[in-house]
Chains A and B, each alone.
Chain A
Amino acid sequence: MILVKDLSIERSNKKIFENVNLSLGSGKIILLKGKNGSGKTTLLKALLNLIEPSSGAIYWKGKLLKKNLYNFFNHVTYISDKTSSLSKLSVQENIKIWKKFFLSDISNSQVENILKTLQLDIYLNQKVNSLSFGETKKLEFLRLIIENKKIWILDEPLSNLDDDSIDIIAQTFEDHRSKEGSIIFSSHQESEINVSEEVLL
């Protein structure tokens, strides 16, 4: 569905990467590997049309991404290295805001189940700024389920997480793959997630 052809990106006259080719079809998980500064985040941002490529092109469903942008946005969830939950509000209020904001029809019991597996259910009425960093990060993954989109674009989803949580993430990825969804994520660490393609930047 997403096709990246000969993508090169330059920033302030410095080449970040050259001639990257990618194809993200349904049921596929792509891992972007590379050192710090190798351009993983830049590539992900280019996929969201935030950064103009200096050469090459990105296609969505056969059309140039630029011309088909909001259609593409209807099918994609992006999780950056930042935590987007509102720190002054409680976990429950955040979930409510997300559900309204993404027009999600997910049921309350479903959310509760996921919160239980993420071990966040005890914090339901606590403010987000009382949670630890790893816990806010896990809360962020709830958005994947609430938004319920086909394509997940994740920037460093595994950093700052313990092994148990990584197992849960791996399981979630597998579920998503079995539902014909596709994932592209970046990581600089080894993990046990079963990926269908690795791209080294």
Chain B
Amino acid sequence: MKFLVNPGNFNKFADYVFLPVLISSIILFSIGLIFAFYLSPDDYQQGSTVRIMYVHVPSAWLALLTYAIMTLYSIAGLAFRIPFGFIINTAVAPIGAVFTLICIISGSLWGKPMWGTWWVWDARLTSVAILFIIYLIIIFMNLSFENRIVREKVVAIFVLVGSINLPIVKFSVDWWNTLHQPATISKLSKPSIDPSMMIPLIIMTFAFIMVGLVIAILRIKTEIISRKSNLI
């Protein structure tokens, strides 16, 4: 498991898995999209608008997962002095921002026909909007400091402070009355989704993870190389 903390090992590992990940992302995405658009049934309430969920839900999960990963690596970087944590932070932030943006846009597209509005300021939507802005601030911070050592540590501190938002996003639908529906799939209870819709959702989730991994591997490798050559 050294590739999780060591740039050299990561490079070797990345070379090893990159092609399989790329291929599986393409395959999973095509299967997932076919499932989502043609093979999955219409919902009893929403009709075929439910298909937006196959993009919306995975992107939302990945937006949160990306931030959680950044939080873990920030702790690793600050408390255990593992510089690879900072590399991950810089490389992964834009990916998370894009996932959050996809989540927001697809959510709005679903909300207009279903709820009757593009956007409301309930707890879930507000906290996701804040998550998006936090991602943007991280990206801007990465661009605006001259000194690399200061920059990466300050960004890590900011990531840690901003991680307060993470449980708020996740649990806002349980803690407060929101227009957004509560979680469909949780560990504790039986999912309230039919298997014929669950399968495409899972496939799409893995497809999103694979695409995220492809971009992340590329970005992390560039980051490692540019650090080695002291470009930044």
Across-interface contacts of B148 in A (CB, < 8 A): 12
Within A91-142, the residues touching B (CB, 8 Å) are: none
Q: Tell yes or no: A13 within 8 A of B by CB.
A: yes
Q: Tell yes or no: B186 within 8 A of A by CB.
A: no
Across-interface contacts of A13 in B (CB, < 8 A): 230
Q: Tell yes or no: B188 within 8 A of A by CB.
A: no
Q: Tell yes or no: B149 within 8 A of A by CB.
A: yes
Interface 0/1 of B67-83, CB less than 8 Å to A: 00000000000000000
Q: Bound state CA distance, A11 and B148, in angstroms?
A: 11
The number of chain A residues with a CB under 8 A from chain B is 3
Q: Bound state CA distance, A158 and B230, in angstroms?
A: 35
Within B134-178, the residues touching A (CB, 8 Å) are: 148-149
Within B114-152, the residues touching A (CB, 8 Å) are: 148-149
CB distance from A139 to the nearest CB of B (A): 30
Across-interface contacts of B230 in A (CB, < 8 A): 12-13
Q: Bound state CA distance, A11 and B149, in angstroms?
A: 9
Q: Bound state CA distance, A28 and B230, in angstroms?
A: 41
Interface 0/1 of A3-20, CB less than 8 Å to B: 000000001110000000
Across-interface contacts of A12 in B (CB, < 8 A): 148-149, 230
CB distance from B43 to the nearest CB of A (A): 55
Within A10-48, the residues touching B (CB, 8 Å) are: 11-13
- Smallest CB gap from A11: residue in B: B149
Q: Bound state CA distance, A118 and B230, in angstroms?
A: 47
Q: Bound state CA distance, A130 and B149, in angstroms?
A: 37
- Smallest CB gap from B147: residue in A: A12
- Smallest CB gap from B232: residue in A: A12
CB distance from A50 to the nearest CB of B (A): 13
- Smallest CB gap from B148: residue in A: A12
Q: Bound state CA distance, A13 and B149, in angstroms?
A: 11
Across-interface contacts of B149 in A (CB, < 8 A): 11-12
Q: Bound state CA distance, A11 and B230, in angstroms?
A: 12
Within B42-71, the residues touching A (CB, 8 Å) are: none
- Smallest CB gap from B81: residue in A: A52
CB distance from A66 to the nearest CB of B (A): 15
Q: Bound state CA distance, A12 and B149, in angstroms?
A: 7
Across-interface contacts of A11 in B (CB, < 8 A): 149
- Smallest CB gap from B227: residue in A: A13
Q: Bound state CA distance, A11 and B150, in angstroms?
A: 12
CB distance from B100 to the nearest CB of A (A): 32
Q: Bound state CA distance, A12 and B229, in angstroms?
A: 11
Q: Bound state CA distance, A12 and B147, in angstroms?
A: 10
CB distance from B135 to the nearest CB of A (A): 26
CB distance from A46 to the nearest CB of B (A): 15
- Enumerate 5 A-B pairs (CB-CB under 8 Å) in ascending A order: A11-B149, A12-B148, A12-B149, A12-B230, A13-B230
Binding site for A on B (CB under 8 A): 148-149, 230
What 3 pairs across the A-B complex have the smallest Cβ distances? A12-B149, A12-B148, A13-B230
